[in-house]
Structure 1
Amino acid sequence: MFDYIVIGGGSAGSVLAGRLTEDPTVRVCLLEAGPADSSVFIHCPAGLAVMAKFELNGWGQNTTPQPALNNRRGFQPRGKVLGGSSSINAMVYIRGQHADYDHWAAQGNPGWGWDDVKPYFLRAENNERGADAWHGQGGPFNVADLRSPNRFSHLFAKAGVQAGHPHNDDFNGATQEGVGLYQVTHKNGERHSAAKGYLTPHLGRPNLQVITGARATRILFEGRRAVGVEYRQGGRVQQVKARREVLLSAGALLSPQLLMLSGIGPGAHLQQIGIPVMHNLPGVGANLHDHPDVVQVLDAPNLKDLFGLSLAGMVSALRGMAEWRRQRTGLLTTNFAEAGGFIKSTPGEPVPDLQLHFVIGKLVDHGRKTVFGHGYSGHVCLLQPKSRGSVTLASSDPMALPLVDPNFLADEDDMRRMVQGFKRLREILAQPALAQFGARELPATAGAQTDAEIEAVIRQYADTIYHPVGSCRMGPGPLDVVDADLRVHGLDGLRVVDASVMPRIVSGNTNAPTVMIAEKAVDLLRAAA
């Protein structure tokens, strides 16, 4: 018997298990469907390219056909390994805009405004630049500047300034707007996932049990109270019980699925699937949204210091492997998306509504498509999409993946802003700092010049930038799933703690905010106990 069961060893689950077991009287069981995070491709930052190429350490999830994207199925990579998506992501450390959290609070979630959540960001953080008004030092989550940034990342930032955008060397400081290099979740030249920060150092604690390869299939109840979890491991169905609470941290795609498999969700949908309705909660799986993203890829065959598949590229990679093994520096310490920024689609916007990621290689189809030669890629994503989708069950089989429908670009305003963003990005890439090298945009997008042509390109190539949220929304309304203490409405002993609770997506990468949510949840749990 445990005090708490944490379902999912990803970013939030790692924080919960590590923090809660700081109290030696509290016993925690962590269930993770994937393996331990032992792969060198996880720990070597550039290994993310290999994991993306071969879809390693992930669930292999795709969307349903997206009407606004020419009925294409999109890619939805989510980590299936200790550390979750923080073990496979591009390691960019971004919190979002301060107003994002004030909006959460204004939607009926007291305690979630910027002034409320800022201390949890600082508590989590160990920023190698040092502590100041905006950053913490001494926390488990290491944040650092890139050890060996590519010169073209600096040139991208210079091009952004030439295009009229301010330079910003701290996107998590007083203001987000501008262009520059990202800080990353690295430590000593390695990826520093949530698992490495919060979980791995404490695996020897006697009050912590981590069970990998354990796929949760159902939350167990006595009346209206969650008392345990049923899971499948190695073909065997087993159960584990909790004295205090069950903490669901399976992420924005799988947390709503497990609730529905347990009979918690939209009654009509559950009945249609053949699952007895234990608790009719219509908002489970609703409000799914994500940052839609489109990429411009430029070919630069003579720029051998960029990543690329060529003889020179292979020699550089081998040299980089040797350097990384010796001293954890060099080419393989890259996160690929080294630079970027936050800009406005039009000058009249009150705050940035677009995010840029500059990748030091030719990125096609999330890196899954083999592309020869050297070049670079520019991403632009929409920070506050209006379109909303859903997560629903494909069947009552707990081993079947759910149906994921982000409903990308269904709202006309989303497409309008994406078209403007495509043009703003192209303006930056055309500035002298980069244009001097003669790189050429690939034909797939180069011919798109009018708004209608750009819209057609977006419909053909846009996809996720890996930030699904909102499917177990926090709030007091009839379509909300958890309250401001992250407790599931109408039930006892059950909380959801992950990106699925976000009422509205943050303006940037979602990993740091997910860690923050879990840090705050720990205090909520301690107060309740």
Structure 2
Amino acid sequence: MKTEHDYIVVGGGSGGCAMAGRLSEDSALDVCLLEAGGDGTGNLINIPSGAVAMLPTKINNWAFETTPQPGLNGRKGYQPRGKALGGSSAINAMVYIRGTASDYDRWANEEGCSGWSYKDVLPYFKLSECNERIRDAYHGNSGPLNVADLRSDNPFQQIYLEAGKQAGFKITDDFNGADQEGVGIYQVTQKNGERWSAARAYLFPHMHRKNLTVHTKAMVQRVLFEGKRAVGVEVSINGQLTVLKARKEIILTAGAIQTPQLLMVSGVGDSSELARHDIDVVHHLPGVGKNLQDHPDFIFGYSTKSLDTLGLSIRGGIRLLREIFRYRKHRRGALTSNFAEGGAFLKTSPELKDPNVQLHFVVAMVDDHARKMHMGHGFSCHVCLLRPRSRGSLTLQGNTMDTPPLIDIGFLKDPRDLDELVEGFKLTRKIMHAPALAKFIVKDKFTEHVRTDDEIREVLRNRVDTVYHPTGTCKMGTDSMAVVDPQLRVHGLEGLRIVDASAMPSLIGGNTNGPVMMMAEKAVDLIRGVSRVPALEQAEHNARARQEHLAQALVAQPV
């Protein structure tokens, strides 16, 4: 086994796969990627509907739980996190969303993250993306991450859109363009009806590279330091403990839960927290594990007789057999569904500049992250608060990586979050009760008797949980609680960088998978010291020139 590399990337999720794949494009660099889970392959991952078997279980999933939450009437929350090459992109609903321009402008102008404005990050979204349908100034069409329209052909997509119209909302076909607001159908990270995880996008095509080493079943135990410089990692690979050294940098991409945990067990964090667990302090950095943010989410659920929704029934089972054959032959149909097929970004007040709630319309009954099953068929709709004011924290309950951390997600700590979600609840119910959808409802499973604002508040406290977007625990910035600087280098240390959702200073308005890959694309240029943006802009200019030339030639042809 090679024990020394230029770069060691810790965590094979969305950020880690992108970092390893892009850095290893330079044949002069030696890159090693370490992933604690499996190889990120197999039908459960590749077939989109396989997520229903992974999300509620420990299959390719760390399946963390939070501490009891006062804002949720003392309930523990659930925090599924991907455990395989591809990370959470191997088990998620594949929704491709970026957030709004103002999210990134806030990072740059208000949160000390110079170089991360929307103008700065848009080129890196485009470098990442290969959009099959949309070709305009907001999208890329030649990147490694395939973004496609759904191939499920489910008629409930149009029923949902019609309900959105009836409820008075505008319809959009691109949540990632000039204006995010509206009701629409999500684009997803799929290709030919198969999940296109970060591993399939950035890593698997390049596993043959001699300068790229990938270890799975490799649990990093701690980062090793010489003084203030990170020089290596102690890692258990298939149960065997070894030390790997890094000549240039160690890049942490273990996510918003395990990146801060790894820092703390390695001696980097709040010195008082480390002392409680007899960990020697390498560097006092009080922001590690603080600033935890996530989108609090409520789910409406309805039973229906329609077999166009997924569910448990004899007739549904017969139809599923037909869908299996259809998938094998055409890569279309129900097995390509991400379940959360429809979406919306809405404002709870017309005075707001940007939408503050997001909907995920699901063509199945969802209860407790699919951990509670219901007989029959149904559909559901999530509504989450996009920019909550509540903050949580992550602390240790042991001094090794073998003990899960204590996750205090902090949902609904701030009463203003609850007030906004009440209004989001009402907007969502308006769509669900519009005639196009209402005629399919047999029974409202969770909110049938909820009418007053106080009753809405109580059902929210009883049922809200994550929509799987934890961020912020190693935030980027320049203030005293920042963990990394705008180049994603850990403050006060050398040779250590963080490139995952933990480095987000604040939540963006949407799903976080695409933005993490954008961060990795930008981090590659920060490391190399050479920007790929001018080349991208030149390529776009040349493409426009060719299109204009072709258009002129067609006009000039005689009829």
Are the equivalent residues in 2 in contact too, given 1:154–1:180 (CA < 8 A)? no
For residue 77 of structure 2, give the secondary structure of its aligned residue in structure 1.
Answer: strand
2:87 corresponds to 1:84: yes
Partner of 1:510: 512
Partner of 1:425: 428
Q: Deviations over 1:495-523 (max 9, x none)?
A: 00000010110000000000000000000
- Give the CA deviation at 1:324: 1.2
* 1:75 alignment partner AA: Y
For residue 59 of structure 2, give the secondary structure of its aligned residue in structure 1.
Answer: coil
Unaligned runs of 5+ in 1: none
Are the equivalent residues in 1 in contact too, given 2:154–2:333 (CA < 8 A)? no
For residue 153 of structure 2, give the secondary structure of its aligned residue in structure 1.
Answer: coil
* 2:479 alignment partner AA: G
- Mapping 1:471-486, distance limit 5 Å: 471-486=473-488
Rounded Cα–Cα distance in structure 2 between residues aligned with 1:421 and 1:149: 28
Q: Which of residues 286, 291, 295 is equivalent to 1:287?
A: 291
* 1:114 alignment partner AA: Y
Rounded Cα–Cα distance in structure 2 between residues aligned with 1:119 and 1:24: 24
Are the equivalent residues in 2 in contact too, given 1:355–1:383 (CA < 8 A)? yes
Rounded Cα–Cα distance in structure 2 between residues aligned with 1:489 and 1:68: 33
2:497 corresponds to 1:489: no
- Give the CA deviation at 1:528: 8.5
Partner of 1:138: 142
Partner of 2:100: 97
Partner of 1:181: 185
* 1:67 alignment partner AA: P
For residue 412 of structure 2, give the secondary structure of its aligned residue in structure 1.
Answer: coil
Partner of 2:371: 368
Rounded Cα–Cα distance in structure 1 between residues aligned with 2:103 and 2:165: 26
2:161 corresponds to 1:157: yes
Partner of 2:407: 404
Partner of 1:253: 257
- Give the CA deviation at 1:138: 0.8
Are the equivalent residues in 1 in contact too, given 2:8–2:250 (CA < 8 A)? yes
Q: Deviations over 1:92-136 (max 9, x none)?
A: 000001100000001111100000000000000000014311110
Q: Which of residues 497, 501, 505 is equivalent to 2:503?
A: 501
Partner of 1:447: 449
* 1:524 alignment partner AA: L
Rounded Cα–Cα distance in structure 2 between residues aligned with 1:251 and 1:438: 39
Are the equivalent residues in 2 in contact too, given 1:154–1:339 (CA < 8 A)? no
2:327 corresponds to 1:324: yes
Rounded Cα–Cα distance in structure 2 between residues aligned with 1:316 and 1:523: 49
Rounded Cα–Cα distance in structure 2 between residues aligned with 1:356 and 1:153: 14
Partner of 2:465: 463
Q: Which of residues 264, 267, 272 is equivalent to 2:271?
A: 267
Q: Percent identity?
A: 53
Partner of 2:14: 11
Q: Deviations over 1:46-91 (max 9, x none)?
A: 1111112433101120101101101111110000000000000000
2:281 corresponds to 1:298: no
Partner of 1:337: 340
Partner of 1:437: 440
* 2:526 alignment partner AA: L
* 1:5 alignment partner AA: I
Partner of 2:133: 129
* 2:190 alignment partner AA: H
Are the equivalent residues in 2 in contact too, given 1:157–1:340 (CA < 8 A)? no
For residue 241 of structure 1, give the secondary structure of its aligned residue in structure 2.
Answer: strand
Rounded Cα–Cα distance in structure 2 between residues aligned with 1:262 and 1:528: 31
* 2:505 alignment partner AA: P
Rounded Cα–Cα distance in structure 2 between residues aligned with 1:437 and 1:12: 41
Partner of 2:119: 115
After superposition, the CA RMSD in angstroms is: 1.1
Are the equivalent residues in 1 in contact too, given 2:302–2:441 (CA < 8 A)? no
- Give the CA deviation at 1:397: 2.5
Rounded Cα–Cα distance in structure 2 between residues aligned with 1:527 and 1:369: 50
Are the equivalent residues in 2 in contact too, given 1:149–1:338 (CA < 8 A)? no
Rounded Cα–Cα distance in structure 2 between residues aligned with 1:224 and 1:464: 36
* 1:39 alignment partner AA: G
Q: Deviations over 1:240-284 (max 9, x none)?
A: 111100000000000000000110000001001110111000000
- Shifted more, 519-528 versus 459-468: the winner is 519-528
Rounded Cα–Cα distance in structure 1 between residues aligned with 2:512 and 2:397: 26
Partner of 2:545: none
Residues paired across the two proteins, number: 527
Rounded Cα–Cα distance in structure 2 between residues aligned with 1:111 and 1:73: 38
For residue 288 of structure 1, give the secondary structure of its aligned residue in structure 2.
Answer: coil
Rounded Cα–Cα distance in structure 2 between residues aligned with 1:403 and 1:153: 39
* 2:236 alignment partner AA: R
* 1:368 alignment partner AA: R
Partner of 2:528: 526
For residue 284 of structure 1, give the secondary structure of its aligned residue in structure 2.
Answer: coil
Q: Which of residues 168, 173, 176 is equivalent to 1:169?
A: 173
* 1:182 alignment partner AA: Y
Rounded Cα–Cα distance in structure 1 between residues aligned with 2:94 and 2:314: 28
- Give the CA deviation at 1:436: 2.4
- Give the CA deviation at 1:237: 1.2
Rounded Cα–Cα distance in structure 1 between residues aligned with 2:414 and 2:134: 42
Q: Deviations over 1:286-312 (max 9, x none)?
A: 000000000010111x21111010011
Partner of 1:355: 358
Rounded Cα–Cα distance in structure 1 between residues aligned with 2:321 and 2:199: 28
Partner of 1:202: 206
Rounded Cα–Cα distance in structure 2 between residues aligned with 1:117 and 1:38: 30
Rounded Cα–Cα distance in structure 2 between residues aligned with 1:28 and 1:438: 54
Rounded Cα–Cα distance in structure 1 between residues aligned with 2:292 and 2:497: 18
For residue 22 of structure 1, give the secondary structure of its aligned residue in structure 2.
Answer: coil
Partner of 2:49: 46
Q: Deviations over 1:342-392 (max 9, x none)?
A: 001123322210000000011011011121111100110000000000111
- Give the CA deviation at 1:148: 2.4
Rounded Cα–Cα distance in structure 2 between residues aligned with 1:161 and 1:280: 54
- Give the CA deviation at 1:162: 1.2
Are the equivalent residues in 1 in contact too, given 2:57–2:63 (CA < 8 A)? no
Rounded Cα–Cα distance in structure 2 between residues aligned with 1:201 and 1:285: 34
Unaligned runs of 5+ in 2: 532-559
* 1:49 alignment partner AA: V
- Shifted more, 321-330 versus 120-129: the winner is 321-330
* 2:176 alignment partner AA: N
Rounded Cα–Cα distance in structure 1 between residues aligned with 2:146 and 2:63: 28
Are the equivalent residues in 1 in contact too, given 2:153–2:332 (CA < 8 A)? no
